[in-house]
Amino acid sequence: MDQKKKDKAWKAFRDLWVAGTVGGFLAALMRSVPLDATTLVDPPSWRFVVDLLLRYIYLVWFIGYFLVSNLGDDKPKQLDVAFDVIQSAASFAAAFALGIAVRGEGFQFNRSSYAFAFANGAILIICLFSLAFFLPRDGWRGHEESHTLRIAGTITAAIGLAVSWTSSLSPARMLALVGTQLILWMLLYRFGRKRVDALPAT
């Protein structure tokens, strides 16, 4: 098969896969947000509010990551597509654990530590596969910032996983999870800026 046709085929598959992944997340949000918003009118406790908002912040992070991670790559290779499939599977597992993908399923408020452990575990898996798949191919020279962001994401997700790996979340652990999310959002912002700057001018 002609290489240009291969590139078009892989790009078409990847575009459909990413669109389906993001569409699935957005559909989950549209189903869950109106129902969960009503619980915030008279919440049982402040911890419930923080817990619920943190779940949605994690999910929105996954959506933002998928949107920016596929910018500007017109010739994805098989390895790129395989990586997208892996990170989609990890992200959907996290969305299910957070109780957003399927209403009433996953880990509810009384088991929220497991929900956040799954979410941080999914991010850790994405970062580790990113390092394993793309570090040998790209090398370090000329790609220092990309690899630094991957390593920083790996460390931050590992800390989040360690913090949430408990039978119950104390206020201090909840605050630590908020802190790791802030770091992940800063890394995502920098990653997004880098992807946008790499886009062709025309």
Residue with the bigger pLDDT between 200 and 82: it is: 82
pLDDT tier at 121 (50, 70, 90 boundaries)? very high
Residue with the bigger pLDDT between 113 and 39: it is: 113
pLDDT score of 191 more than 70: yes
Ramachandran quadrant class, 37 (left: phi over 0; alpha: psi -120 to 50; beta: rest): alpha
Q: What is the pLDDT of residue 160?
A: 94
- How do residues 125-177 score in pLDDT, each as one tens digit? 999 998 888 765 545 555 677 788 889 999 999 999 999 988 778 888 989 99
Helix, strand or coil, per DSSP, at residue 141: coil
Q: What is the pLDDT of residue 189?
A: 93
Q: What is the pLDDT of residue 118?
A: 92
Cα gap 29→135, rounded to integer Å: 34
- How do residues 21-34 score in pLDDT, each as one tens digit? 878 888 887 888 87
The string over 56-87, giving b where at least 16 C-beta atoms fall within 10 Å of a residue's C-beta and e elsewhere, is ebbbebbbbbbebbbeeeeebeeebbebbeeb
Domain ranges of the chain: 3-197
pTM of the model: 0.86
Cα gap 145→178, rounded to integer Å: 24
